[in-house]
Structures are given as C-alpha cells and as structure tokens.
Amino acid sequence: MNRRHFILSASALATISLTISGTMASFANSASALANFQTVVPIETETRLELVPDSAGQGSTHTWDFAYLTIEDDVDTITVDYPLGTSLEGLDNKNVIVELDRSGDGDLREIKVNKDTYSGSRDTFDLAGNFNTNIEGRARVTIEGVTNPDAGVYEPEMTFNTGTDSRTLSAEMGVTDNGAFYEPTIDSAPSEVTAGDDLLADYTVTNTGVGPGNQEITVTAGSGEESTTKALDAGDSYSDTFSYTTSTDDAPSIDLVVATEDATVSQEVIVGGEWALDLDPAKQNSSSIHTWSTGFIDYQGEVDTITVDYPGGNQGASLDGLTEQDVTVEITRQGEDEPTVIDVNTGSYSGSTATFELDGRFDTDIDGPVIVTINGVDNPNKGDYTADITLDGTEETATYTVSFTI
C-alpha cells in the first residue's frame, strides 16, 4: 500500500500560499511558537494530506495534518469539500477521527464526533460540545473510506467553523491511475567540495508517464536528507536545490542521491581539503593503527615525501621500531578512479616524527583521495591532541593539522 503526502495552502482573512518545510517531528517541535490568527496577521500554516491508497476509484484513508494552526475559540464543526467524483457515501461518525492540540505542547487529543452519516463530496462533521475544541498548534482529521475521484490533480478544502469565524485550508490533491512515472535528474552538482563547505545541487523530477501522480521525492547526501511530495500531471516537472554542509566525517566521498518511488539517480562527490585521522584503538599507551585520509587536496605537482609529526615527549606518541613495512601510502592519481598503493623506500623510524620517502618510480600527482596508514604507533596518554601531516614535493610543500582524542 503506497503512501502519499501533499503540500497544502491555508487562508485566514486572505489566501496564503504555503510550502512544506519539515517532517511531522518538526510539527511537534514548532507547535509552541504559534500566533493567534484572529488577533495577529496570519502566519504560514503547514498542512499535509495523505491518501492511502491514492489510486482512482479506490476506497482510501485521507489524513489531514496541520501545524502552525491556532484558533482561540472552540471549533464547532469541520467541513470537508472534495471535488466532484469524490464520495463520502456510506460513511458515519465512526469513520472520522478528529485530534486537536489544545495546550500548545504538541500532544494531540481525540475529540468525539457527534453521531451522523455522510454522503456526496461535501459534508460537515459536528464536534461534541462537552470538549474544549480550541487549537493551539496542531490538528489532525482522519477520514476512513473516502472513495477517490478520477485520476487528476485537485484542490479539496477543509474549513474549521467556530460559529463566529471560520478558517479554510485548501490542498493540492493528486490521484493516480498508475500511469505516472517520476524520472529524477541531477541538473548540476560539484564533483568535489571542501570539507566544511556547502554542497549545492540542483535537481529536477519529471512525470514522464501518461497520467497524473503523487510521489515522495527524497534527496540525500552524507547525513543530510530532504523530502517532499509533489502531485504532477503527465509531462509536468518539479525543480529544487538541495543544500548540505559537509564535514571531515564525509571524507573521502559521499553519494548525492535523488530518489522517487520509480527511479533513483546518484552522483559521487569527493569531500576533502582537510585530513581526518582515525585511531584503532584510540586508547592511551596502546599500539594503534593510525589512518590519515583526505577526499582530495589542491596540491600542485608530485609528492616526494610525507612527514607525520605527533606530540612527543615522555607522554607523547612513538613510532619507535617501525619501518617502511608498517606504512602504506595510497594516492588517487590523474586519470584514476581508485587510489594506487605507492611503494615507500626503505626506512626506519623513531620518536614522534617520521618522514616516509616515496619510491621515485611512481607518479604521485594527486587527483582524489589520499590515505596513509601506519601500523603500530604507540598512542600518547589520555587527552586531546593535534598532529601534522606534511606533503613535500618539487613544486609545493603543504602542512595540514588534525585533532584527535585519546
């Protein structure tokens, strides 16, 4: 059974165009920051309509969900007005569930609906008078058994009536005939981004099918995710920009993914410009595998040597007894998609600083992730530290500082 969500628009004294900006979790979190629409200029109301299923002619559960909705007086009745072809025939008060947040804490409490039967595409639900029915942020109305109209994109309305005032919310509602196909494309996105900077990606979703549809569109990159649901007629498109702030945790790369219920498109984005240092284990005075890595760095020319410099002294790190056999250097070079292992010339290391001389028979220009693994570093005592890694070549010498914790 497919789920569909719709963005709605609200009107109070005037029509307000709305866009969805968060998940249902954000509805509850923002419920306390609301204003009374009767005494203040109307604010944006977030509303979702979910149809399960959303196919034409099917009996469906319609769930209307509202946030940023404040009505100071008690709501007496709620009227729903669907397009012709929608049917409430055979439904009664047992098929209608009304839940209101009356205190502004985000919690919903069910309000009894008086006994009644419904028909046609428009009808009114009478709320029991023994309940307080003001709204302080959230409201949800669930109607079970609505017969969906023919495939298309519609605008049903729901009106809250207080006896002295009313508020009407209009919704874009899409009903499918299984002829829709949502095709995503990534219009523009960087191939590389420096850790800490924003990844900005433009994308488009086009309904390339033969009928209208309603689908959730999800965009992800790293730990970032955005989703929205759009009703599109055949041939219509929806475009937007996705933004995600990267971090060193994303190195060396992340996948940018745009997904619909029909198709998925992705692009790898290299994340670098800074180094990360992973310790396994990160325990004091333990022999540890230290892995230095970066998604990419803007380094000119070839690398001849790589130097690591840890905090030293009696309580510092130690590379005593290590040789080139304990060091692995991997560099992604021009024209390559994967890192290549670069031989390290014979050497023995001690103390807290060591320089690894790369085999001159290898090309060592950098065009992607670089990984330096050192097996057997003795960790320092417990604490917060910084260490440096330096790349030295004929054209450039560059030093990068990394923080780590024992």
Rounded Cα distance between 200 and 177, Å, is: 34
Beta-carbon contacts of residue 149 (< 8 Å; ≥ 6 apart) = 56, 82, 83, 84, 85, 86, 121, 175
Q: What is the pLDDT along the chain (406 residues), one digit of tens a residue?
A: 343 343 333 333 233 233 333 333 444 444 333 434 344 445 788 888 988 888 888 889 999 999 999 999 999 999 999 999 999 999 999 999 999 999 999 899 999 999 999 999 999 999 998 889 999 999 999 999 999 999 888 999 999 999 999 999 988 898 887 778 899 999 999 998 988 899 999 999 999 887 888 899 999 999 999 999 999 988 999 999 999 999 878 877 899 999 998 899 999 998 887 888 999 999 999 999 999 999 888 899 999 999 999 999 888 999 999 999 999 999 999 889 899 999 999 999 999 999 999 999 999 999 888 999 999 999 999 999 999 999 999 899 999 999 999 9
Rounded Cα distance between 145 and 388, Å, is: 66
End-to-end Cα, the chain, rounded Å: 50
SS3 of 29, please?
helix
- Do 76 and 198 touch, CB atoms closer than 8 A? no
pLDDT at 274: 81
- pLDDT digits over 62-73, tens only? 999 999 999 999
- Do 143 and 95 touch, CB atoms closer than 8 A? yes
- pLDDT digits over 222-248, tens only? 999 999 999 998 899 999 999 999 987
With CA atoms as reference, report the closest residue to 146 among 49, 48, 57: 57
Structure tokens belonging to residue 213? 């549809």
Structural domains of the chain, with CATH? 4-174 (2.60.40), 182-270 (2.60.40.10), 276-405 (2.60.40)
Structure tokens belonging to residue 351? 């103390």
Angle of CA points 209, 214, 220, to nearest 5°: 100
Q: Which amino acid is at 306?
A: I
How deeply is 278 buried, as exposed, middle or buried, from its count of CB atoms within 10 A (0-12, 13-18, 19+)? Answer: middle
pLDDT at 196: 87
- pLDDT digits over 329-368, tens only? 999 998 898 999 999 999 999 999 999 999 999 999 998 8
